[in-house]
Amino acid sequence: MLSYVGRRVLQSVPLLIGVSIIGFALMHLAPGGPLAVYTLNPTITNQDIERIRIVLGLDQPVHIQYFKWASGMATGNWGYTFFGGRPVLGVILERMPATFLLMGSALSLAILIGCTIGVLGAVRRYSVFDMMATSGAMVALSFPTFWFGLMAIYLFAIKLGWLPSGGMYELGEEDNLLDLVRHLILPCLVLALVITAVWSRYTRSAFLEVMHQDYMRTAKAKGLRAPARLLRHALPNALKPLIALLGIELPALFSGALVTETIFGWPGMGRLFVDALNMKEYPVLMGMIMFTALFVIVGNLVADILIALLDPRVRLS
Amino acid sequence: MRVGVWGRFRRHPLAVFGFVTVAVLCLAALFSPFIAPHDPLLLDTSRRFVAPFARAGFVLGTDELGRDTLSRLLYGGRISLTVGLVAMVTTVVTGAVIGLLAGYLGGLIDTLLMRFVDTMLCFPQIFLLLVIAAFVPPSLISIALIIGLTSWMEVSRIVRAEILHLKEQDFVQAARALGASGGRIMFQELLPNIAAPLLVAATLRVASAVLAESYISYLGYGVQPPLASWGNMLTNAQGYFDTVPWLAILPGAMITLTVMGFNFLGDGLRDALDPRLRMDK
């Protein structure tokens, strides 16, 4: 097992290098490059900019700049914000809990509902329920998240007045858990919709895949009842592609969270990203791009290790 | 064979629904200058916020500047579909070339290209789209190219998998024995044989490109006003949301309908063209 984990970690190294090269290239693609903020400031002269260029090492060859930047990333020095000069990594980490609360709750809800629909659809393939579930999933996948969010706000916040239309807390209610839950319901449901659709489709095909295997026929021939067959025999085998999906769908989850946070004014990383975009805060943008990509690499690594824990064949191959 | 494909396609009511929707939308977009009752950019503040069906000549009402909503939806559809189609072509061409090269050449090139694909897949698409869209001066072509160049990875994986399977077959060996060059084998022997999966992928890519365009236009980094796209119509409508909801409902409904149409069409094509590729084996 340990050697499998070691090999799998090594496989992430090229990805890390690739991600860092793309991140570094994007930073230099920014209009004005890393010096953009200084050229916009009228009190700074050209001589000043030249001096800053040398201090920041921007007069050095590209590969040396890259290594300096990459070693900074590795040691937690992700640069400083243009406005306020705060460390970028700190600014991002500050927003992390809000985003992870939103993503975590939406993902849990989506997996719960999506898997149930998927399993029922696979068991009763081509039934009315299955037809409705598969076409319903396709419809859900076609909704633009932001529009669905706006419709939800219109119905539940403006028309019915049941739930708040945005934000994370009412003023002065920062410690009130119930208030937090009330604010979480709408963004969580909106983000969960598309993920539920993805999970129900994948669960359905993962279960259909295993249900025609010989061991399922054997289990039936042994006289095992359907629930036992599903839980003891089908589930463990169908679980692997679903755990892999957890890692594969992480980038889409971040994208969905960005849109959801923007509509609902949820103070998370997605909101931070959009604000940084509007303020041309390039260091924060680059930091966010790198943060999400690194998180996706680690997420896929964890998913693969989980799969190897479940299935000895994976770690021996 | 042709009868078989059409027969299988026709049996899916949703696929037919998708086909009809896509056809109607494309025709509406193509002929919008002839169908649209008004100039979509014509301002008239004496008729702001006319409700749908409330005044003759303005079937779907008017927006905050008195512009005719139906005309804006038609022209907006033109923009959204153009961006969707150009982005799809970019995606399919990039994905097919990279998939072909990786699958056919193999070895180090395959490894490098596929690691590049893996790397690109680590970035959430909206984050990349927004950053690049903010750096590059926005135009229809640049938006379409950005969307295309951030979404080709899955196509290249599909193509590579097909090529790995195809390149061992006799007709490829025969072409090689006859002395055909690598380029000829890739583009004249192999490419026509993956037309079916490519067509399916292309249809589904239009759906996701239309969706991506609406996201970045909604966030203000896509199609710029006064040009109407369904995404930026929603941004405007958001400001008057509690009093005139239809302004937000209509463009969103159009996006949903379009994306749904292409998705159902793509799914139907997959079932009809290649039963092997069905989601449920």
Digit-coded pLDDT (tens) for A270-304: 999 999 888 888 888 888 999 999 999 999 999 99
Biggest alpha carbon distance in chain A?
Answer: 85
What is chain B's pLDDT, residue by residue, as a tens digit (281 residues)? 445 777 777 777 888 899 999 999 999 888 888 877 777 777 776 766 677 776 666 667 777 776 778 888 888 899 999 999 999 999 999 999 999 999 999 899 999 999 999 999 999 999 999 999 888 888 889 999 999 999 999 999 999 999 998 888 888 888 888 888 888 888 888 888 888 889 999 999 999 999 999 999 988 888 888 888 888 888 888 878 777 888 888 899 999 999 999 999 998 888 888 655 544 43
- Phi/psi of residue A219, nearest 5 degrees: -60, -40
Contacts of A287 in chain B (CB under 8 A): none
A294 CA: distance to closest CA in chain B (Å): 8
Query: What integer pLDDT is reported at residue B170 of this predicted model?
Result: 87
ipTM: 0.87
CB pair distance less than 8 Å for A255 and B207: no
8 A C-beta contact, residue B232 and residue B224: yes
A:239-268 residues touching chain B, CB 8 A cutoff: 251-252, 254-255, 258-259, 262
Task: Check residue B183 and give its pLDDT.
Answer: 84
Terminal alpha carbon distance of chain B: 21
Biggest alpha carbon–alpha carbon distance for chain B: 76
Q: What is the pLDDT of residues A38-51, one digit of tens each?
A: 666 677 777 777 77
Distance from CA of B190 to the nearest CA of A (A): 29
Give the domain ranges of chain B. 5-32+62-277
- Interface touch A251/B123, C-beta < 8 Å: yes
Does residue B126 belong to the interface with chain A, where contact is any CB pair within 8 Å? yes
Is-contact B234 B252, C-beta < 8 A? Answer: yes
- The whole-number pLDDT of residue B281 equals 37
Spell out the CATH class of B5-32+62-277: mainly alpha
Nearest to A144 among B127, B135, B211 (CB): B211
The answer to whether A36 and A283 are in contact (CB under 8 A) is no
pLDDT value at residue B276: 57
Q: Residue A142 and residue B14: Cβ atoms within 8 Å?
A: no
How far does the CA of residue B172 sit from the closest CA of chain A (Å)?
31
The verdict on a CB contact (< 8 Å) between B218 and A135 is: no
Q: Give the Cα separation of B216 and A113 in Å (integer).
A: 29
| Residues with pLDDT less than 50, chain A | none
User: Are B256 and A147 inside 8 Å of each other by CB?
Assistant: yes
pLDDT at B279: 44
Name the residue of chain B whose CA is nearest to A130's CA.
B280
Distance of CA B217 to the CA centre of its chain: 15
To the nearest whole angstrom, how far is the Cα of B278 from the nearest Cα of chain A?
10
Q: Would you state the pLDDT for residue A37? A: 64
Which residues are within 8 A (CB) of B105 and not within 5 positions of it... i.e. 6 or more apart?
A: B182
In this predicted structure, what is the pLDDT of residue A50?
Answer: 79
Q: What pLDDT sits at residue B280?
A: 42
The answer to whether residue B215 neighbours chain A at the CB level (below 8 Å) is yes
Interchain contact B34–A (C-beta under 8 A):
no
Q: At B36, is the secondary structure helix, strand, or coil? A: coil
Q: What is residue A34's predicted lDDT score, i.e. its pLDDT? A: 63
Please tell me the distance in Å from A238's CA to the nearest CA on chain B: 14
> What's the confidence (pLDDT) of residue A36?
65
A296 close contact with B: CB closer than 8 A: yes
Nearest CA in chain A to B219: A274
